[in-house]
Chains A and B, each alone.
Chain A
Amino acid sequence: MATLKELSAKKELFSGGHRLCAGCGIPPIVRLILRSAGSPVVATTATGCLEVGTSIFPYTAWRIPWIHSAFENAAATISGIESAYKAMKRRGNIPADKEIKFLAIGGDGGTYDIGFQALSGALERGHNFVYVCYDNGAYMNTGIQRSSATPFGSATTTSPAGEVRKGKKEWRKDLTKIVVAHNIPYAAQASPHNWRDLEKKGAKAFNCGGPAFLNIISPCPLGWYTKSEESITAAQLAVDTCYWPLYEVENGVLRVTYKPKEKRPIEEWLKIQGRFKHLFMPENKWLLEETQKRIDAEWQRLLEMDGKHVF
């Protein structure tokens, strides 16, 4: 495992000067992931904040080969790149000892929703690639519309907190669990505030020999209505309240990689975010209670599975 000093000495493959927002969770995630690969990486990105913010022609933030083709197909695109690598290596057009890693990145829109089928297909086919989902919990690039990753109760521009309906009424889709059901060698949840855990998971993902999936919570000051300087705190609170547990499933065995010494009440995470403001009105108290109950139950279930074979 790399120390912070070692990580900082590694070549920066994601240039500054990109147009992602101040306080956006994506750049630290991408920088850590690229540092964790250990070999040259070829990446593709689904349409979204990361793509738009890093590639406005004629500039690019990518110091690695990078392609964007569309919104819903990052996993299919990387399938093609990885297959080309295999075929060309077999034919001797690429030296046998030339190791290249393959990375697909999408937001929760491009991963949980519109890109879900392509992701499932690529995982099932067993391509050797890492898929990173930066989950900021809504379609932030197009102006904060709900996704299936949007938390229960959250206000978005397509699930506003109105007179009658109080934000998103559905619980979020547990995509990590669905990915685990594909029986891939490695899947994990991570957070940018815990760089050590994230880097370690990145390294495991790149070296597990098959498809790997990392679901990483990504604070979004614009859509969460948080202060830019509080992004990393917001990520930490998501983990310490157990809204976003850090765990991994390696060859079928689940391990919770971080257990908060003191589990914080969910209000602590919600109250710093403008998108949950309406939940703190007295008449909506039951929504908060509902949220806490569900998080407690899910955390409990996860702890019960800790150390066990889940497939």
Chain B
Amino acid sequence: MEPATKTKKQVGLTGNSAVAYAMKQIDPDVCAAYPITPSTQIVEDFSSYYADGKVGTELITVESEHSAMSACIGAAAAGARVMTTTSSQGLALMWEMLYVASGLRLPVVMTVVNRALSAPISIQCDHSDSMGARDSGWIQIYSETVQEAYDNLFQALRVAEDARVLTPAMVCMDGFITSHAIENIALLDDSEVKDFIGEYRPKRSLLDVDNPITLGAMTLQDSYMDFKHEQSKAIAGAKAVVAEVGKEFGERFGRSYGLMECYRLEDAEAVVIVLNSAAGTTKVAIDRLRDKGTKVGLLKPRLFRPFPHEEIASALAGTKAVCVLDRADSMSGFGGPLFSEVRSALYGRKGCPPVIGRIFGLGGRDYTVEHAFGVFGELYDILEKGKVEKPFGYLKP
């Protein structure tokens, strides 16, 4: 049977509008959010749906992002399906509560519209916000396009609420580049969304007053580590659930999702690894270079937390040189976060290719097809010279 949406008419939506529309279709019980550029429009659009009575949601217009996440935690502990959104400083302000949400195993789902962190202040895109939250115990799914941001939200909800996972999830997309760009996307029908996400019925809830629970208890040396161990196993296990849900999404709606996207990777010698919208730019460069007979390819991780280390290492078997592009600097003096993860995934593998890391696009600096050419040029230099001169650094402007 032809998947229903495959033939549907496409509509032009910005990333923010598409996410707000997805939230309307999901119709969560509670949304607590605080506006911040560039994700503001999601809160505004959703507020309109709320004002028009198009959602059954209780919208909490909190006084800060810290309170947004705190209210989400309270609502999720009360057994509600809960969503929110933020960017940059907002996510940074939530930082403390991100750990509480994941530690209490509450499946809150949040769209993060990626924006640089201060100082200096910038409202433009980079990934320092979500990368700063990479160890917070949240699942992180990255989106190249508006369509992906829209599709990922439903899948993130399914994964987060899965009884095997029960872990909050963030769906990331690039500020302005994706959030404010209009793309043609295929929408799901409301009934398709309802069928796909199902009802959320947690086993335990604060509102079950006849069966009182104590949540967020104080732990000592005899138990804290065991809670963390259980949490660690759950998020590691989320990888299989992300794959399973991505496959089911494809079977239902014609757009399949895996843990990563491999673009012309099969016989590639030189490979770029990059998250989100820059993958699109890189694909254009790859097509042009392939036309000239160069064997280049792309690996775009979709899932960053948990990190699909085995799958990435396997996908890179046979490649000769890899450049990881990071839109965030971890200020470690040792490259960006994605670079560290990829190198670590490859370490000890037979025939491990040289891996370099380049920081690019901070604070919204452009990343063009020419930049991608430059990166592939660097990789071919390494192949020619047989050595890596600069393992990590900043991409030349």
Binding site for B on A (CB under 8 A): 40-42, 44, 51-52, 55-58, 60, 62-70, 72-73, 75-88, 90-91, 94, 100, 117-118, 120-122, 124-125
Q: Across the interface, which residues of B come within 8 angstroms of A87, CB to CB?
A: 29-30, 56-58, 80
Q: Which B residues lie at the A interface, using CB under 8 A?
A: 29-30, 32, 56-58, 60-64, 66-68, 70-80, 82, 96-97, 100, 104, 205-209, 212-220, 223
Q: Within 8 Å CB of B70, what residues of A?
A: 69-70, 73, 76-77, 79-80, 118
**In the complex the two chains form, is A55's CB within 8 Å of B67's CB?**
no
Taking the closest CB of chain B, its distance from the CB of A74, in whole angstroms, is 9
Contact B104 A83 (CB under 8 A): no
Partner of B206, one of A42, A52, A83, A124: A42
In the bound complex, do residue B212 and residue A65 qualify as a contact, i.e. CB atoms below 8 Å apart? yes
Task: With CB as the reference atom, state the residue of chain A lying closest to B219.
Answer: A57
B119 to chain A, nearest CB (A): 22
Cα of A278 to Cα of B132 in the assembled complex, Å: 48
Q: Is B67 within 8 A of A67, CB to CB?
A: no
With A55-B218, A62-B212, A87-B57 known to touch, is A117 a contact of B206 (CB < 8 Å)?
Answer: no
Contacts of B77 in A (CB 8 A): 67, 69, 80-81
Contact A57:B80 (CB < 8 A) given known A42-B206, A68-B215 = no
In the complex, what residues of A have CB within 8 A of residue B76's CB? 80, 84
**What are 29 of the A-B contact pairs (CB < 8 Å)?**
A42-B78, A52-B218, A57-B223, A62-B214, A64-B209, A65-B205, A65-B207, A66-B213, A67-B206, A67-B216, A69-B77, A69-B104, A69-B216, A70-B96, A72-B66, A76-B68, A77-B74, A79-B60, A80-B60, A80-B77, A80-B80, A80-B82, A83-B71, A84-B74, A84-B80, A88-B207, A90-B58, A100-B207, A117-B63
Contact pick for B218, options A57, A80, A85, A121, CB 8 Å: A57
Q: How far is the CB of B70 from chain A (nearest CB, A)?
A: 4
Per a CB cutoff under 8 Å, which of A55, A88, A121 touches B214? A55
Q: With A94-B207, A125-B61 given, can you name 14 additional A-B contacts, CB distance below 8 Å?
A: A56-B219, A57-B217, A64-B209, A64-B212, A65-B212, A68-B218, A69-B73, A70-B100, A78-B74, A79-B62, A79-B71, A81-B77, A83-B58, A84-B80
Task: Find the A residue at minimum CB distance from B78.
Answer: A84
Q: CB-CB < 8 A to B79: which residues of A?
A: 84, 88
Contact residue among B56, B60, B104 (Cβ-Cβ distance under 8 Å from A90): B56
Residue of A nearest to B72 (CB): A80
8 pairs of A and B residues whose beta carbons are closest in the complex: A80-B74, A121-B63, A80-B71, A84-B78, A76-B70, A76-B67, A73-B70, A80-B75
**CB-CB < 8 A to A58: which residues of B?**
217, 223
In the bound complex, CA of A78 to CA of B77 (Å):
10
B215 near A121 with CB under 8 A, answer no
Nearest-neighbour CB distance to chain A for B347, whole angstroms, equals: 37
Most chain A Cβ neighbours within 10 Å, of B73, B74, B96, B212: B74
**A73 / chain B contacts, CB cutoff of 8 Å:** 66-67, 70, 97
Q: Is the CB of A120 within 8 A of B63?
A: yes
Provide the residues of chain A in CB contact with B68, threshold 8 Å: 76
Query: Taking CB as reference atom, which chain B residue is nearest A59?
Result: B217
- List the A side residues contacting B208 at CB < 8 Å: 65
